[in-house]
């Protein structure tokens, strides 16, 4: 029989505890909506708790660019990033995989090790889409949704610098590539944050519609997002209410949502 010294026993115990910490579950309160009486058009808010194993969970940061063509959007993204950064930092510290997805900026990141890491992943073909219904949005964003009267131009070059990129993070704006990464690492749950909730957060190749149709369990962090919506357009509500309407639409048709405060609490209490 091989006897372990006290120092080796101590090291083994520490490693066991560390492994247990990173194998913990997030007990996350979620919000969804159900149409109890089908066809009635009446949707009821429902609450549920989900246990998300940390090794099977990632955060995807959508299109948090350094600059937007719409100056109002640029200001809101800058404020959003300051609230988002500590959540990402806490999640990273607890072992959650962070995926940065600033679309159309991959040239800037071509030499980053976090970009090279995901490029080395073997391609795994996504499954046939589930074919989920895609009802129209409750807001009119056909004019671009800018509420500050600016004209379109490609303003972005990178992700906003207020969101640090950790050594174990990855960077991609390609849906099948990100799906392959998730599969390679056994990740089933995707916490989605970023902008804009009625456009990129729903429609990018790596975003909620695609990932949900491929069987990935998405959760929108609803207070760490924003919309491209101009109150001068239908349904003629405030910008914040327009964002809320899209969040409610996502809860009905695509995935549940959670709050960043609940996520931070779950990260602290994970065991």
In a domain, 10, yes or no: no
Predicted confidence band of residue 23 (pLDDT cuts 50, 70, 90): low
List the one residue out of 216, 112, 124 whose CA is nearest residue 168.
112
In a domain, 95, yes or no: yes
In a domain, 137, yes or no: yes
In a domain, 17, yes or no: no
**Beta-carbon contacts of residue 28 (< 8 Å; ≥ 6 apart):** 49, 50, 51, 52, 219, 258, 262, 263, 266
Domain that holds residue 169: 25-269
Compute the distance between CA of residue 65 and CA of residue 60 in angstroms, rounded to an integer.
14
Residue 266 reports pLDDT greater than 90: yes
The predicted model gives 108-116 an average pLDDT of: 98
pLDDT for position 138? 98
Q: Residue 106 is encoded by which pair of tokens?
A: 């991959």
**Phi and psi at residue 101, to the nearest 5°:** -130, 65
The predicted model gives 155-168 an average pLDDT of: 98
The mean predicted confidence, pLDDT, of the chain is 93
In a domain, 217, yes or no: yes
The predicted model gives 76-101 an average pLDDT of: 98
In a domain, 16, yes or no: no
pLDDT tens digits along 207-253 = 999 999 999 999 999 999 999 999 999 999 999 999 999 999 999 99
Residue 111 reports pLDDT greater than 80: yes
Q: What CATH number does residue 198 fall under?
A: 3.40.50.850
In a domain, 1, yes or no: no
In a domain, 34, yes or no: yes
Q: Residue 233 is encoded by which pair of tokens?
A: 């357009």
Q: How many domains does the chain have?
A: 1
């Amino acid at each position: 029989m091989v006897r372990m010294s006290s120092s080796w026993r101590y090291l083994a115990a520490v490693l066991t505890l560390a492994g247990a910490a990173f194998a913990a579950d997030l007990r996350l309160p979620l919000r969804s909506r159900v149409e109890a009486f089908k066809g009635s058009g009446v949707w009821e808010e429902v609450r549920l708790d989900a246990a998300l194993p940390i090794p099977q969970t990632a955060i995807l940061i959508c299109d948090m660019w350094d600059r937007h063509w719409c100056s109002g959007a640029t200001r809101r993204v800058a404020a959003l990033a300051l609230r988002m950064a500590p959540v990402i930092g806490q999640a990273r510290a607890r072992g959650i995989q962070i995926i940065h997805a600033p679309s159309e900026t991959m040239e800037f990141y071509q030499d980053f090790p976090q970009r090279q890491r995901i490029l080395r992943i073997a391609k795994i073909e996504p499954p046939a889409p589930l074919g989920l219904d895609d009802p129209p949005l409750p807001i009119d964003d056909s004019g671009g949704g800018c509420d500050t009267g600016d004209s379109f131009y490609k303003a972005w070059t990178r992700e906003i610098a207020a969101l640090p990129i950790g050594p174990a993070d990855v960077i991609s704006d390609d849906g099948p590539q990100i799906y392959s990464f998730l599969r390679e690492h056994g990740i089933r749950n995707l916490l989605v944050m970023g902008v804009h909730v009625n456009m990129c957060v729903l429609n990018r190749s790596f975003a909620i519609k695609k990932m949900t149709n491929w069987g990935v369990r998405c959760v929108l962090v609803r207070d760490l997002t924003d919309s491209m919506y101009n109150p001068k357009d239908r349904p003629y509500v405030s910008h914040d209410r327009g964002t809320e309407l899209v969040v409610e639409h996502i809860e009905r048709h695509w995935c549940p949502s959670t709050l960043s405060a609940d996520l931070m609490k779950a990260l602290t209490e994970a065991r």
